Amino acid sequence: MNYSTEVKQKLLSIITEMDSYRWLFTKNPET
């Protein structure tokens, strides 16, 4: 069973996505 591995991968991808969004917002601030 690779369930925990799949969950870890999903979490990692979500965290990476959020990091990218934060980086984009920090690079182009709306203020």
Tell me the pTM.
0.55
Which pLDDT score is estimated for 8?
Answer: 96
Which pLDDT score is estimated for 4?
Answer: 94
Structure tokens at 16: 């990476």
Which pLDDT score is estimated for 28?
Answer: 72
Give the model confidence (pLDDT) of 1-31 as tens digits: 688 999 999 999 999 999 998 888 888 766 5
Q: What range defines the domain where residue 5 resides? A: 1-25
31 within a domain of the structure (yes/no): no
30 within a domain of the structure (yes/no): no
Between CA 12 and CA 17 the distance in angstroms is: 9
3 within a domain of the structure (yes/no): yes
Which pLDDT score is estimated for 1?
Answer: 64
Q: Is the dihedral of CA 15, 18, 23, 24 positive or negative?
A: positive
Place of tokens 């969004």: 21
Which pLDDT score is estimated for 31?
Answer: 59
